[in-house]
């Protein structure tokens, strides 16, 4: 449980925010501490310099000459914690005892720091921090003076930095307590804000967890913020795609079930007929020439029907798996003229008319296109009267660089309820249920597969008892 809390987005966001706030507070504390320390040290050095300058050269000259009166007057002119010393050019340090009760050891600088002020043209004063004999930090000020007796000497004044350190310590403690209080208040505030900001996200997660295949139609509600609204929109788009995919899969399963049932029915019929005729022959019809001839002829017809059905199924299976075609530049008018004798043979007594308005050059698979023409023509032959039937094939170019092939007949037509299903596999309309008139129901499905493989489309228009028009549109 604790591991889940540590890995949660809420904890990471809260801890990251508090870490950033801590870094900001630490940075501000360091800046404030450094600025205050610089200010206090600068104030201490300035105050010490002002005291040294306020005494004046004449008094310091008297002090340098060991004047007891001058030394005793320093106790009234300087702060009680200030220690004094005189520095000669050779670096000798001479402490000045102005008050025995408050006298502290005089801090000693390096000889180089003293010699700098004795150098001609150097600055007459210096201030800095040094460690006293007791290990405490002290502010040290050096001032150069000229004495008639000793020529050049330095006055060293120093004061303890403990008051400044106490102020810094007190300020740091106050700031630290304030920072901790700020972090605590920030943790409470940020936790509340993060919970409120992530509440819509939690609701979205709960809604998505409740969804399954049966509730894919549900959608997430619009959100308040732009980012969450975009996330909800993306999830809704994903749910829409999943819903579409599930519906397609459902339709595909239903289509497959219907296809298997229809295919089984279509295959069972010729197989049952073959089995029946074989039983007739086995029961003695083989001895009767007329019955034997009839049985064999019927078995031959059923076997042809079975072979055609299997070939059509294999053709559709290949197209479903990979509809790759070897295309070449073809004149569709030449194809129709080449097929004309075969079409007249299929039509028998029916009237056949070809109307070619355009030669119709296009890139296509010539054998497959011939199959399209043949299937549409055979379909027209099946549904027209053998004596009064009229079939018309026309080829023309339409607007939009499309080549249009139409097969028109004056047959029984197609009912409005059957029109949406004529290109489905194994579908036969009400007027084509009998075996003598209707085919296997795969011819128009093959036409649709071939036309779509050529990036074209096929459609049908029909009025019951007034014929039908099948239209194939192929891109040039």
pLDDT at 169: 92
Q: Which residue did the predictor score with more confidence, 372 or 325?
A: 372
In this structure, the dihedral spanned by the alpha carbons of residues 194, 199, 202 and 206, taken in order and rounded to 10 degrees, is: 170
405 pairs with which residues across the strands? 395, 472
Question: What's the distance, CA 189 to chain centroid?
Answer: 31
The CATH number of the domain covering residues in 56-160: 3.30.450
The answer to whether the beta carbons of residues 125 and 144 sit under 8 Å apart is: yes
Intervals of CATH 3.30.450 along the chain: 56-160
pLDDT at 103: 63
Intervals of CATH 3.30.565.10 along the chain: 323-475
Q: Mean pLDDT score of the chain, rounded to an integer?
A: 80
Cα–Cα distance measured from residue 374 to residue 53, given in angstroms and rounded to the nearest whole number: 123
DSSP character for 104? Answer: -
Residue 431 has pLDDT above 60, yes or no: no
The 10s digit of each residue's pLDDT in 448-467 is 888 888 888 999 998 888 88
Residue 132 has pLDDT above 80, yes or no: no
Residue identified by tokens 């059957």 is 418
Q: Where are the alpha helices (DSSP H) in 67-161?
A: 68-77, 111-118
Range 46-60 average pLDDT: 80
Crossing angle of helices 289-321 and 443-453, in 10° steps, is 30
Reduced to 3 states (helix: H, G, I; strand: E, B; else coil), residue 126 is: strand
- pLDDT band at residue 150, thresholds of 50, 70 and 90? low
- pLDDT band at residue 435, thresholds of 50, 70 and 90? very low
Share of the chain above pLDDT 70, in %: 86
Structure tokens at 299: 């078995």
Q: Angle at CA 107, nearest 5°, toward 105 and 112? A: 150
Residue identified by tokens 């994903």 is 238
Longest dimension (CA), the chain: 167
Residue 188 has pLDDT above 50, yes or no: yes
In this structure, the dihedral spanned by the alpha carbons of residues 441, 442, 444 and 448, taken in order and rounded to 10 degrees, is: 140
16-25, 191-200, 265-274, 317-326: range with lowest mean pLDDT: 317-326
Share of the chain above pLDDT 90, in %: 13
Structure tokens at 443: 């011819």
The architecture in CATH of the region 323-475 reads 2-Layer Sandwich (3.30)
| Beta-carbon-side half-sphere exposure of residue 61 (alpha carbons within 13 Å) | 11
The 10s digit of each residue's pLDDT in 383-428 is 898 889 999 999 888 877 788 999 999 988 888 888 888 888 777 6
Residue identified by tokens 């249009």 is 404
pLDDT at 31: 93
């Amino acid at each position: 449980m604790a591991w889940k809390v540590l890995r949660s987005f809420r904890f990471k966001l809260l801890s990251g925010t508090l870490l950033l706030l801590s870094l900001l507070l630490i940075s501000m504390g360091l800046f404030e501490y450094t600025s205050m320390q610089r200010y206090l040290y600068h104030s201490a050095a300035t105050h010490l310099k002002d005291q040294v300058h306020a005494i004046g050269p004449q008094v310091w000259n008297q002090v340098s000459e060991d004047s007891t009166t001058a030394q005793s007057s320093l106790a009234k002119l300087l702060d009680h914690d200030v220690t004094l010393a005189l520095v000669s050019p050779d670096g000798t340090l001479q402490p000045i005892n102005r008050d025995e009760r408050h006298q502290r050891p005089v801090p000693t600088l390096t000889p180089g720091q003293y010699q700098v002020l004795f150098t001609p043209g150097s600055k007459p004063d210096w201030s800095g921090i040094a460690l006293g004999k007791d290990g405490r930090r002290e502010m040290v000020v050096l001032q150069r003076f000229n004495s008639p007796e000793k020529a050049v000497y330095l006055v060293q004044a120093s004061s303890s930095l403990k008051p400044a350190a106490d102020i810094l310590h007190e300020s740091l403690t106050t700031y630290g307590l304030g920072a901790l209080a700020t972090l605590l208040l920030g943790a409470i505030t940020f936790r509340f804000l993060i919970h409120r900001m992530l509440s819509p996200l939690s609701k979205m997660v709960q809604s998505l967890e409740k969804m399954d295949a049966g509730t894919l139609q549900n959608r997430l509600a619009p959100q308040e913020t732009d980012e969450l609204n975009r996330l909800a929109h993306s999830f809704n788009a994903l749910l829409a795609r999943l819903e579409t995919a599930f519906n397609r899969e459902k339709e595909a399963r239903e289509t497959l079930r219907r296809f298997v049932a229809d295919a089984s029915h279509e295959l069972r019929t010729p197989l049952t007929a073959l089995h029946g005729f074989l039983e007739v022959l086995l029961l003695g019809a083989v001895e009767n020439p007329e019955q034997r001839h009839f049985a064999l002829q019927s078995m031959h017809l059923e076997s042809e029907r079975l072979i055609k059905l299997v070939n059509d199924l294999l053709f559709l299976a290949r197209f479903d798996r990979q509809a790759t075609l070897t295309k070449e530049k073809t004149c569709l008018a030449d194809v129709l003229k080449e097929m004309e004798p075969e079409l007249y043979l299929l039509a028998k007594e029916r009237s056949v008319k070809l109307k070619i308005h355009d030669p119709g050059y296009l890139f296509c698979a010539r054998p497959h296109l011939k199959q399209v023409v043949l299937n549409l023509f055979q379909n027209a032959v099946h549904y027209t009267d053998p004596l009064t039937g009229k079939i018309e094939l026309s080829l023309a170019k339409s607007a939009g660089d499309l080549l249009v092939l139409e097969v028109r007949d004056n047959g029984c037509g197609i009912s409005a309820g059957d029109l949406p299903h004529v290109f489905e596999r194994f579908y036969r309309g009400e007027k084509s249920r009998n075996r003598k008139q209707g085919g296997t129901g795969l011819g128009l499905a093959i036409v649709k597969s071939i036309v779509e493989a050529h990036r074209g489309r096929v459609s049908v228009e029909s009025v019951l008892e007034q014929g039908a028009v099948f239209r194939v549109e192929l891109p040039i």
